[in-house]
Structure 1
Amino acid sequence: MKKDYIEKFKLTGKTAVVTGGAGILGRHFCSGLADAGANVAVVDIQLAEAKKVAASINERYAGRAIAFECDITSEESVIKMVQAVVREFGEINVLHNNAAGKSNNLDAFFADFEDYELNQWKEIMSTNLDGMFLVAKHVGKVMKKQGEGGSIIQTSSIYGVMAPDQRIYEGSYYLGRQINSPAIYSASKAGVIGLTKYLATYWAKEGIRVNAITPGGIESGQNDTFKEKYSSRIPLGRMSQPEEMVGALIYLASDASSYVTGQNLIVDGGLNAW
């Protein structure tokens, strides 16, 4: 008997929520889900940018996209967003818990560990981990009530799995600014993986699968020094492009991964295999 294997990757008729949907990765994630047939809630704190992403999706793909404003560090804002999505689409089948933040004060964000301010630590943790908790909590509640299962995917980072090589940051700049990778980023992204594993077992009986995607270094404005140093550590010999993360998301969002939960899918060009 013929099996329609490729059909399992399709998301036709499903509703997907993507936080950080207007970001560098988020806009590709939203487009990929729509290309697979899903209706997409493009959620971002920058509503104007989210509307641009939604408009672009509606011009190019069959899936319908609507922009929603949300500050994921505010439980009130998260509740309002989830309610608005359900009003518009009727249900939520997929959540991509993707939003993350750096800081409004880049001097404080990139400070040396010995001088790092507690308020700055708490600000980043509030977005990168507390925000994921709030969105998962309220979307998971909806999925549980629907009684049809669901798929939750949370974005971590390669630096939530392994420590950064500090040597690659010597002479490295991003959008004209010297950079490093602070401890709060690693700690918060490692927490995402821990939360993912917990929720995978907690909601398994409800048929709600919870997995993580861990991107490696993505080319997005770094100077040549950084790109060369980072690429020299990658078995595939280069940084990734944002669209190269989308296939992993579609797989985890769809029935193609129906027996996959509690996993962290690392998309890093082989960095962690050394």
Structure 2
Amino acid sequence: MADETRDERRTLVLTGASRGIGHATVKRFSREGWRVITCSRQDFSDDCPWPAGPEDHIRVDLSDQEDVGYAVSEIRRRLEANGSQLHALVNNAAISPKGEGGSRLDSIRTPMHMWRDVFQVNFFAPIILARGLFKELAKAGGSVVNVSSIAGSRVHPFAGTAYATSKAALAALTREMAADFGRSGIRVNAIAPGEIDTAILSPGTEKIVENIPLRRLGLTSEVADTIFFLCSGQASYVNGAEIHINGGQHV
């Protein structure tokens, strides 16, 4: 007799779910019937469109290592409560602090405490979560997707130095994780979005678009589609890759 309390849906854990790429990713996976456990600094909003949102949302401050540890324990508890397996972890949350008037913070003017906060959220939180949920991912033959950035491979006019270097480190971490986690059947890949049309765009973005071969901004849904592909069986032999989603901007 089947266990009626067991949730047979595939399960995703996603950080940074409240807006932009994260929001689009939740909608994409929910549409495919996945259970989505979201992690964000914000409380769950009633405006959010996916089912079971309040029950599957965890408020966590990724800049606080202890809070990330709490999130790992809470995710495990929620998985165990109804016998779910963990099929995917998407490390999407990131911070990109600006100077006065939204100015770019370079390597000379970025305060050291800001470097630490940026690296904690953008780099250390992803590996803490992946290590903390390693057994759950391995049991399901799961997948990890790290959201890097085009800023990780070139000086960007808006993204600050701390953000850019944290994303470069995350891309390198993806390679190392693919080698280490792959032995346990866990695939680890990264995506590197370019200029994506979100609610908050930096002034001057239209000038960048002029030099993008496709001559337009990317859509959050296009990024979400790529993340879904990497977490699906269609990408079952893709490991250690970084996929550029930028309309050819990187060329």
Q: TM-score, normalised by structure 2?
A: 0.86
Give the structure 1 partner of residue 67 of structure 2: 77
With 213-222 and 68-77 compared, the bigger mean Cα shift is at: 68-77
SS in 2 for 1:58: coil
Separation of aligned partners in 2, 1:83 and 1:113? 36
**Structure 1 272/239 Cα, relative in aligned 2: closer, same or farther at 3 Å?**
same
Distance apart, 1:255 and its partner CA:
0.7
SS of residue in 1 equivalent to 2:108: helix
> 1:86: which partner in 2?
76
Given that 1:121 and 1:184 are in contact with CA atoms closer than 8 Å, whether structure 2 keeps it comes out as yes
TM-score with structure 1 setting the length: 0.79
The reply to whether residue 198 of structure 1 matches residue 176 of structure 2 is yes
1:182 is displaced (CA, Å) by 1.3
Task: Please give the alpha-carbon distance, in whole angstroms, between the structure 2 residues aligned to 1:109 and 1:115.
Answer: 11
Report the CA distance shift for 1:234/1:81 in structure 2 as closer, same or farther (over 3 A).
same
Aligned to 2:5: none
User: 2:152 corresponds to which residue?
Assistant: 160
Q: RMSD over aligned Cα, in angstroms?
A: 2.4
Q: Pick the aligned partner of 2:187 from 209, 225, 231.
A: 209
Q: How many pairs align?
A: 238
Structure 1 residues 165-189: Cα deviation after superposition (integer angstroms, max 9, x where no partner): x4xxxxxxxxxxxxx3211111000
Tell me if the contact between 1:16 and 1:40 (Cα under 8 Å) persists in the aligned partners. Answer: yes
2:51 aligns to what?
58
Residues 163 and 26 (structure 1), Cα distance of their counterparts in 2 relative to 1, 3 Å cut: same
Structure 2 vs 1, CA of residues 119 and 74 (structure 1 numbering), >3 Å: closer, same or farther? closer
Residue ranges of structure 2 left out of the alignment (5+ in a row): 1-7
Among candidates 143, 157, 160, match of residue 151 of structure 1: 143
Alignment of 1:96-111 (within 5 A): 96-103=90-97, 106-107=99-100, 110-111=104-105
267 and 243 in structure 1: CA distance in 2 versus 1, 3 angstrom threshold: same
Indicate the SS of the match to 1:203: helix
The yes-or-no answer on 1:222 pairing with 2:218 is no
SS in structure 2 of the partner of residue 251 of structure 1? helix
Structure 1 residues without counterparts, runs of 5 or longer:
1-11, 167-179
Kindly indicate whether the alpha-carbon contact (under 8 Å) linking 1:235 and 1:271 is maintained by their aligned counterparts in 2.
yes
Matched, 1:123 2:117: yes
Q: In structure 2, what is the equivalent of residue 170 of structure 1?
A: none
Q: Any conservation in 2 of the 1:233–1:271 contact (CA below 8 Å)? A: yes
SS in structure 2 at match of 1:57: coil
CA distance in 2, matches of 1:157, 1:195: 14
Q: Is the 8 Å Cα contact of residues 13 and 39 (structure 2) preserved in structure 1?
A: yes
Q: Equivalent residue for 2:215?
A: 237
Partner of 1:35 in structure 2? 31
Q: Is the 8 A contact 1:161 1:190 kept in 2?
A: yes
1:16 pairs with 2:12:
yes
Task: Give aligned-pair identity as a percent.
Answer: 26
Check whether the contact 2:16–2:39 (CA below 8 A) recurs between aligned residues: yes
Q: Distance in 2 between matches of 1:115 and 1:262?
A: 34
Distance of 1:122 and 1:227 partners within structure 2: 27
Letter in 2 for 1:135: L
Match in the other structure for 1:267: 245
Match of 1:247 in 2: 225
Residue 109 of structure 1: CA displacement?
7.6
